[in-house]
Amino acid sequence: MFATLENLLSKQFFLIAGPCVIESEEHAMGMAVELQKIAAAVGIRFVFKASFDKANRTAVDSFRGPGLERGLAILKTIKTELGLPILSDIHEVSQVEKAAEVLDIIQIPAFLSRQTDLIVAAAQTGRIINIKKAQFSAPQDMKNAIEKVRYTGNQQVILTERGVSFGYNRLVVDMRALPLMRSLGVPVVFDGTHSVQEPGGLGKATGGDRRMVPYLCRAAVATGVDGLFLEVHDNPDCAKSDGPNMVELSKLEALLRTCLKIDAIVKDEL
C-alpha cells in the first residue's frame, strides 16, 4: 500500500485499471483478483479503479452503480483483502469526506476539472488527486487545476489525458498534450480507453472502438508518460457501462508487456 505520490512512483511506470463501474461485489472482486495477478506477472505497480456512481451517464435510466455507501464498502473490502490501493471518482463536495476514508487516489472527472470547490475539498484530504483533463481544455490550462490542489498545501497531484472533443460524438488524442502536461512538473497518465469513446454515439449510450486502444497506448507510452489508465472487463460486450471502449481482460497482459518494453526504451533515452 502507498500513502504518497512519491511511493506510487517509486517503481516507475504504473497501471490504474478496473471496470468502469462496480457492477456487483462479486464482479469487482473477481476483476481485482485477476488484474492483480496480471500486474504481478508483468511487474507493474497496480492501482484498482471502479466507480461507485457514474453520475454522468448519457441517459437517465442508465446503470450508475451501487452508490456512495455500498460502493465504498465494496472498494474497502477489495483494499483490505487484496492489499490494493484504490482509485474512484467523486462528483460532489458532499462525497469527499467518506470517499477519503477509503480511497488512496481521489479522481476528479474530466467534466468537473474546472470545479474549484470540488478540487479544493478533495485536495484538503491530503490524498493523491488525479485530475482528468477536460475534453474542452488545452494541456497548458491544467496548470490552473494543479494550482488549486497546491493552494491547500497538498502537492500530490496527477494529470490524466483522455482525449479532446473533435466534432460531435468523437474524441481525438493530441499526443503533444502529454509532454506539455509533464512540463508542468506533475506525473501524467494516459487514459487509453476513454480516449476511444464516442460520447453519446449510440443515442442513449456512449459508443467507442476498443480496437484502437493498443495503438494509442503504445504511442502515448512512447512520449514518456508515467502510467496508463485502462478500463478493463472480462466481457466488455455485456458490461453495464462503457463496454465498447473497455479492454478485454484476456488481452491486457500482452498490451502491458509491449508498453513496458516501450517505456524502458524511452526512459533510457530521456
Q: Under a CB-based contact definition with an 8 Å cutoff, are residues 202 and 162 in contact?
A: no
User: Helix count (H) and strand count (E) of the chain?
Assistant: 9, 13
Neighbouring C-alpha atoms within 13 Å toward the C-beta of 261: 7
Whether the per-residue pLDDT at 158 is higher than 60: the answer is: yes
Locate 227 and state its grid cell: 502510467
Task: Give me the amino acid identity at 216.
Answer: L
In the predicted model, what is the mean pLDDT of residues 104-113? Answer: 96
In the predicted model, what is the mean pLDDT of residues 224-243? Answer: 94
Whether the per-residue pLDDT at 1 is higher than 60: the answer is: no
Whether the per-residue pLDDT at 21 is higher than 80: the answer is: yes
Distance CA 117, CA 119 (A): 6
Whether the per-residue pLDDT at 90 is higher than 60: the answer is: yes
For residue 140, give its domain range.
5-269
Work out how many domains the chain is built from and give that number. 1
Confidence of residue 215 (pLDDT cuts 50, 70, 90): very high
In the predicted model, what is the mean pLDDT of residues 207-217? Answer: 91
pLDDT digits (tens, 9 = 90+) for 27-86: 999 999 999 999 999 999 999 999 999 887 677 877 888 999 999 999 999 999 999 999
Confidence of residue 253 (pLDDT cuts 50, 70, 90): very high
Whether the per-residue pLDDT at 185 is higher than 70: the answer is: yes
Task: Give me the amino acid identity at 27.
Answer: H
Locate 16 and state its grid cell: 490504474
In the predicted model, what is the mean pLDDT of residues 155-179? Answer: 93
Whether the per-residue pLDDT at 4 is higher than 90: the answer is: no
Q: Under a CB-based contact definition with an 8 Å cutoff, are residues 151 and 189 in contact?
A: no
CATH number, domain with residue 88 = 3.20.20.70
> Of the candidates 157, 195, 194, which has an alpha carbon nearest to the alpha carbon of residue 175?
195
pLDDT digits (tens, 9 = 90+) for 131-151: 999 999 999 999 999 999 999
pLDDT score for 11: 55
pLDDT score for 57: 64
Query: Whole-model pTM?
Result: 0.94
pLDDT score for 243: 86
